Chain A
Amino acid sequence: MMEFLIAWWANVPEAAAAYALAALGLLLCERSGVLNLTAEGLMLVGAMAAMGAALQIEGYPGMALVVGMLAAALVSLLFALLVVTLRVNQVIAGLAIVFFCQGFTQLLGVMFDWQNHPVPGLLPVRIPLLADMPIIGRVLFEQNGVVYLIVPIFFAVQWVLHQTRAGLRLRSVGENPEAADAAGVSVPLVRFGAIVAGSALIGLAGGLLSVGGVKMWFPDMAGGRGWIAVALVIFARWQPWRALAGAVLFGCIESLVPRIAAAGIRVPQYFMLMTPYVITLVVMAWTAWKGRSRSSEPGALGQPFSREERR
């Protein structure tokens, strides 16, 4: 039994890391008032670009991840152009980007023949002494570098949002763009920045899937994790620490399902894919019923901003 638990838990951090990165990226973007549904697509772009880079430059998985981040950030510029500059409906633009990315990554990946070529990828980093602790050592201190990075990234997001002028501008743009505009904040600029920065994190989550996790690439490898991240942000009511907690929860579920199957208990894999949404629906119904949803959701989420004609 203990072996089962340790084997399960040891897989949780890496699974949770992808969710956490994607959710934090989305959160950054949505706190600026841009409803971002592109996560699934940008994770695919990140996964493909990182693997492409890993196959070209062997031995530098960190570089590969950076390439994944840059690629996702680049594609997000298109999304930003659509929703910020052209003020296209954010839901429609987000969905279009996802479908575009699904087709595009498949096209490029197959064209360059990146499919099913294993790479060494990210290797686990043993933290001396700490990794020797029973149970905790294997679960927490024998992970790859990106998993450890989650901690500083989480605090950085928290810090940027609440302890910097840029964060104050970002939150004010997300809550009341008219007031922010009156206070001299450039709403388009802030939203562009939030989208690109957030998307880089989502790209990193994608790179983690290919270079860090299965260490190879195949089409549609995000497998709905981007959608789960979208639901996670709603579930977290746009609070970073809740998003982190939610990521751990779904990391647990994700790594539990194959283990249960291996133990001979049959659970439909779709059950796992469905769970986050069931929880999200429950949370949304609960907050709406409690009448608290309005206070936690960014006030201008999903609304394109155009300065009213000053006459």
Chain B
Amino acid sequence: MTVTTAAPALALSGVSKRFDGFPALDGAHFSVREGEVHALLGENGAGKSSLMNVAAGLYLPDEGEVRVDGVVRRFSGPLEAAACRIGMVHQHYKLVRALSVAENVMLAAMAVESQSAGGDRSADKVGTTASRAALRTSYGSRLARIRALIDDHAARLGFSIDHRRAVHTLSVAEQQRVEILKALVTGARILILDEPTAVLTDEEATRLLQTMRTLAAAGAAVVLVTHRLRDVREHADRVTVMRAGRTVAECDPRATSTAELTELIVGAAAPAVTRKAAAPGVARLAIRNLTCRRHDGFEVLANLSLKVRSGEIYGVAGVGGNGQTELVEALLGIEPPVSGEVIIDGVGDIAMASPAARQSIGVAAIPADRYRLALAGTLPIADNYGVTRVASGAYGSVLWVDFRRMREEAAAGVREFDVQGVRRIEQPAGLLSGGNAQKLVIAREFASAPWLVVAHSPSRGLDVRACADVQRRLIDAREAGAAVLLVSEDLEEVLLLADRIGVMSRGRLVAEFDAPVDRQRIGEAMVDHA
């Protein structure tokens, strides 16, 4: 890598962006030069993806500026960014699954061409004329040219891909290659990859990162948005660390120790905890060798084992997308595991039991996506409150439902759990704000004294007060002797609440700690494990 005096290929400075008043980016800055692989490192919600979405024209920043080759640009859409030769590979691929590889690339190329042919703001006039000419050529010759370009780029990057194959027949890693090819064929020379290794196996990830090195060596600027320290240390020339919407450091990954990087990522705040000492009893929930696969065969949970005892909160920490959702879905019976056991004290293995059966055992479920999995937004609050106990005959029989009793109990629950914003108990639950909807879920699940609680990111998206309320309820449940499994991507929350902490990475439990834990050690386990 050579340090040149020329302006960086892409530079963002003083970028701020708010979503519903909540700042996602707060004066962040970032720059990448041609010929380098630049890693953008940080926890979930640190603002990495938001910042890159600004660079790719997906978000319009509230403040700050984007410079491409030193020229200030204002993108009102991804196509304008593409015309400036910025390409982004998102975490969720934007591919038409029924179309072939070549057709997908062509669709993208057509869009970028008409964009640069339409607007005369594009810097290179030569490219513009060429695009105009390309628009006039016939479909067949155009497709043939795209195919040649695909083969050409693929050969240069050292992989082969059959451009006739339909995208839905490709593996996740191959689909990612199609996305990369899409960006390259449309002329991108600033390539942004959002968490590219999250969905890949180790071998695939290494190959991808080597490919990115090849690209950078050929003069491209590559931005790697990631939370994996290993990717950064082995494959990046420079690293920028973000935390809470701000850029906290820019350094040479080889000259910085793992400990320093980890501290930059997770910060050093020490939360104060006020609660009784844990008095753990019997193991109420024992998970043994739980394995789950995605539809394409990718192992999202691999031989995971853990135990949760009564009277303790077991926290599962980890960066999002490392199998936490699958773990919770397997425990709640939403997506059954491939193999393994979920043993409930005094009941036995419930790995294959239905959600209803789990309900009858007394598992209190607080899923992360409360509007999808916990509430029926268009139904009244009372119905949402009473629904889990209707089947057990709490409100009448098969033939009739005692709505009056349901409404009374719902009103009592709403009062007890301090659900705000309830004007009438018949109003749709969807009208409640996030925090109050979550409190309604907890009110329902904790209506009879909880015995085993499975909570996934219970305070996600809540304001400070609601967050504290929800966390208090979990501690109360623990002190009343319940076994609580808390799966959370918010490290603060896990550190604050958990008596024991397991760290998940790539579908495995990679480390287990007893509270109080050194956050540095958890941070290392979160980001550094292969």
Instruction: Please list the residues of chain A having a beta carbon within 8 angstroms of any beta carbon in chain B.
Output: 163-165, 168-169, 171-172, 175-176, 178-180, 182-185, 295, 298-299, 310-311
Residue of A nearest to B17 (CB): A311
Nearest opposing residue in chain A for B113, CB measure: A184
Q: What are 20 A-B pairs at a CB distance below 8 A?
A: A163-B140, A165-B142, A168-B106, A169-B107, A171-B98, A172-B96, A175-B97, A176-B97, A178-B94, A180-B107, A183-B94, A183-B108, A183-B110, A183-B111, A184-B112, A184-B115, A185-B107, A295-B98, A295-B168, A299-B98
In Å, the complex CA distance between A310 and B53 comes to 11
**Which residues of chain B are near A168, meaning CB under 8 Å?**
99, 103, 106-107, 110, 139
Flag if B97 contacts A299 (CB, 8 Å). Answer: yes
Which residues between 49 and 104 of chain B lie within 8 Å of chain A, taking CB atoms? 58-59, 78-79, 94-99, 103
User: Is B96 a contact partner of A311 (Cβ separation < 8 A)?
Assistant: no
Name the residue of chain B whose CB is nearest to the CB of A184.
B111
Complex: A176 Cα to B96 Cα, angstroms: 5
Give B135's nearest chain A residue, CB to CB: A165
- A255 and B106 CA atoms in complex are apart in Å by 45
Q: A185-B107, A311-B59 are in contact. Are A179 and B79 (CB under 8 A)?
A: no
Of the listed residues B58, B106, B110, B140, the one surrounded by the most CB atoms of chain A closer than 10 A to its CB is B110
A311 engages B107 (CB within 8 Å): no
B357 to chain A, nearest CB (A): 28
Leading 9 A-B pairs by shortest Cβ distance:
A184-B111, A183-B111, A179-B94, A175-B98, A176-B96, A172-B96, A182-B94, A175-B96, A183-B107
Q: Judge whether B79 and A184 touch: CB under 8 Å.
A: yes
| In the bound complex, CA of A14 to CA of B103 (Å) | 37
Cα–Cα, bound, A163→B143 (Å): 9
Q: Does B400 contact A (CB under 8 A)?
A: no
- The smallest C-beta distance from B24 to any residue of chain A, in angstroms, reads 9
Q: Is there an interface contact between A172 and B19, defined as CB atoms closer than 8 Å?
A: no
- B305 contacts the other chain (CB 8 A): no
Given known contacts A168-B103, A184-B112, what 15 new A-B pairs fall within 8 Å (CB)? A168-B99, A168-B107, A168-B139, A169-B107, A171-B98, A171-B103, A172-B96, A175-B97, A175-B99, A180-B96, A180-B107, A182-B78, A185-B111, A295-B168, A299-B98
Residue B339 at the chain A interface, CB threshold 8 Å: no
**Residues in chain A near residue B79, CB distance under 8 A:** 184
Nearest-CB residue, chain A, relative to B50: A311
> Which A residues lie within 8 Å of B95 (CB)?
176, 179
Say yes or no: is B210 at the interface (Cβ < 8 Å to chain A).
Answer: no
Cβ contact of B107, chosen from A172, A295, A298, A310, cutoff 8 A:
A172
Residues of B within 8 A of A165 (CB): 110, 139, 142
- A168-B110, A178-B94 known; A310+B99 contact, CB < 8 A: no
Residues of the A chain whose Cβ atoms lie less than 8 Å from the Cβ of B106: 168
Contact with A along B151-194 (1 / 0, CB 8 A): 00000000000000000100000000000000000000000000
Which residues from chain B contact A298 at a C-beta distance below 8 Å? 98
Decide yes or no whether B44 CB sits under 8 A from chain A.
Answer: no
A185–B106 alpha-carbon span in the complex (Å): 12
The smallest C-beta distance from B112 to any residue of chain A, in angstroms, reads: 8
Nearest-Cβ distance from residue A169 to partner chain B, whole angstroms: 7
A164–B107 alpha-carbon span in the complex (Å): 11
Distance in Å: Cβ of B28 to nearest Cβ of chain A: 17
Check B201 for interface membership: any CB of A closer than 8 A: no
Contact bitstring B377-401, A, C-beta under 8 A = 1, else 0: 0000000000000000000000000
Residues of A close to B96: CB separation below 8 A: 171-172, 175-176, 179-180, 299
- Tell me, yes or no, whether B211 is within 8 Å of chain A by CB: no
- Report the bound CA distance from A201 to B114 in whole Å: 30
Whether A311 contacts B19 by the Cβ 8 Å rule is yes
In the complex formed, the residue of B with least CB distance to A31 is: B98
Which A residues are in CB contact (< 8 Å) with B98?
Answer: 171, 175-176, 295, 298-299
User: How near does chain B come to A156, taking the closest CB pair, in angstroms?
Assistant: 14
Measured between C-beta atoms, what is the minimum distance from A303 to chain B in Å? 14
Q: With the chains together, A171 CA to B98 CA distance in Å?
A: 9
The residues of B that contact A175 with a CB separation of less than 8 Å are 96-99
Tell me whether A164 and B59 are in contact (CB under 8 A).
Answer: no
- Minimum CB–CB distance for A310 against chain B, Å: 7
0/1 interface trace, chain B 125-141, chain A, CB 8 Å (1 if under) = 00000000000000110
User: Once the chains are docked, how many angstroms separate the CA of A178 from the CA of B58?
Assistant: 14
B99 touches A172 (CB 8 A): yes
| CA A299 to CA B59, docked complex, whole Å | 27
Which residues does chain A contribute within 8 Å of B108, judged by CB atoms? 183
- Cα distance A176–B97 when bound, in Å? 8
Q: Which of B98, B99, B108, B115 has the most CB of A within 10 A?
A: B98
A171 touches B99 (CB 8 A): yes
Residues of A close to B111: CB separation below 8 A:
183-185
Q: Say how far A38's CB is from chain B's closest CB, in angstroms.
A: 24
With a cutoff of 8 Å between Cβ atoms, the chain B residues found around residue A163 in the complex are: 139-140
Task: Find the B residue at minimum CB distance from A294.
Answer: B168
Complex contacts, A169 vs chain B, CB 8 Å: 107, 110
In the assembly, what is the distance between CA of A176 and CA of B79, in Å? Answer: 18
Contacts of A182 in B (CB 8 A): 78, 94
Q: Which residues of B contact A185 (CB under 8 A)?
A: 107, 111
Residues of A within 8 A of B142 (CB): 165
Chain B's closest residue to A181 (CB) is B94
How distant is B12 from chain A, measured CB to nearest CB, in Å? 18
CA distance A164 to B142 in the complex (A): 10
With a cutoff of 8 Å between Cβ atoms, the chain B residues found around residue A164 in the complex are 139
Which residue from chain A places its CB closest to the CB of B98 in the assembled complex? A175
Chain B nearest CB: distance from A309 CB in Å? Answer: 10
Task: Please give the distance in Å from A98's CB to the nearest CB on chain B.
Answer: 29
> How far does the alpha carbon of A157 sit from the alpha carbon of B142 in the complex, in Å?
20
Instruction: Report A-chain residues with C-beta under 8 Å of the C-beta of B114.
Output: 184
CB distance from B3 to the nearest CB of A (A): 36
Min Cβ gap B59→A in Å is 7
Distance A1 CA – B140 CA, assembled complex (angstroms): 50
With the chains together, A165 CA to B146 CA distance in Å? 13
**CB neighbours of B107 from chain A (8 A):** 168-169, 172, 179-180, 183, 185
Q: Mark B499-519, 1 if CB is under 8 A from A, else 0.
A: 000000000000000000000
The chain B residue sitting closest to A164, CB to CB, is B139
Bound state CA distance, A169 and B108, in angstroms? 10
User: In angstroms, how far is the closest chain B Cβ from the Cβ of A11?
Assistant: 38
Minimal beta-carbon separation of A112 from chain B (angstroms): 45
